[in-house]
């Protein structure tokens, strides 16, 4: 424990059990001013013996500079929660918020992740080339499935229904997706309906 107390890290994580936390725990996190992110409520996790675990959140805290274990523990104590854990990097733990790399565990929805005080995962990690290709392939399938014929419709759909990384890939690969959508539109022989009086495209 003495060694842990001497640790100074910028990024920290802890588990929060709502049943033992103050009712305004989210407000208290916001008042710290620290960028932080809260996992979906983990209410479907099970122990090795099959019994359900207590419902909990995983939370990441990002300090402006390396800070001590005792400083972070002051916050977790105030919230009546277990001791914090230092993080060497954020990417892996962020993915654990939804069990993304643990298919044997229940998969939580990334859209239920809550960011506070401007936390943005893209500020801390960059997705790999293979992940970009995987997302591009997924979005191509989406275009075919929904018969999307305008690039703007693709962006609107992802903004309303997709994940941030998907929107980042779609918006930063404009030429690729616009060309693909136009090609599909041309291949299908699509001709928009035009108002004969005004020349305005109506569909």
pTM of the model: 0.65
Taking 70 as the pLDDT cut, the residues of the chain under it are 1-5, 125-126, 190-203
Arch. (CATH architecture) of 2-123: 3-Layer(aba) Sandwich (3.40)
Separation of alpha carbons 169 and 41, rounded Å: 27
- What's the pLDDT score for residue 125? 67
List the chain domain ranges.
Answer: 2-123, 129-187
- What's the pLDDT score for residue 187? 83
- What's the pLDDT score for residue 7? 86
Angle among Cα 34, 36, 38 to the nearest 5 degrees reads 150
What tokens were used for 89? 């990097």
Residue 56, Cβ neighbours under 10 Å: how many?
Answer: 20
| Coil/strand/helix, residue 56 | strand
- What's the pLDDT score for residue 193? 58
169 neighbors 159 (Cβ within 8 angstroms): no
| The 3-state secondary structure of 6-40, one letter per residue | CCEEEEEEEEECHHHCCCCHHHHHHHHCCCEEECC
What are 48-106's pLDDT values in tens digits? 999 999 999 999 999 999 999 999 999 999 999 999 999 998 989 999 999 999 999 99
């Amino acid at each position: 424990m003495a060694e842990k107390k001497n640790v100074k890290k910028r990024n920290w994580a802890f588990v929060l059990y709502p049943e033992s936390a103050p009712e305004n725990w989210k407000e208290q996190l916001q008042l710290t001013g620290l960028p932080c992110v809260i996992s979906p409520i983990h209410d479907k996790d099970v122990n090795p013996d099959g019994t359900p675990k207590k419902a909990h959140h995983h939370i990441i805290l990002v300090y402006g500079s390396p800070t001590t274990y005792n400083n972070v523990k002051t916050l977790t104590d105030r919230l009546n929660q277990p001791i914090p854990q230092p993080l060497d990097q954020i990417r892996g733990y962020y993915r654990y918020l939804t069990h993304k790399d643990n298919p044997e565990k229940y998969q939580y929805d990334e859209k239920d992740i809550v960011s506070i005080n401007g936390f943005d995962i893209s500020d801390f990690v960059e997705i790999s080339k293979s992940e970009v290709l995987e997302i591009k392939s997924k979005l191509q399938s989406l275009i075919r499935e929904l018969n999307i014929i305008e690039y703007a419709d693709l962006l609107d759909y992802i903004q309303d229904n997709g994940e941030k990384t998907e929107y980042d890939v779609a918006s930063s690969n404009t030429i690729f997706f616009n060309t693909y959508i136009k090609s599909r539109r041309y291949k299908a022989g699509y001709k928009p309906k035009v108002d004969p009086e005004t020349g305005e495209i109506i569909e």
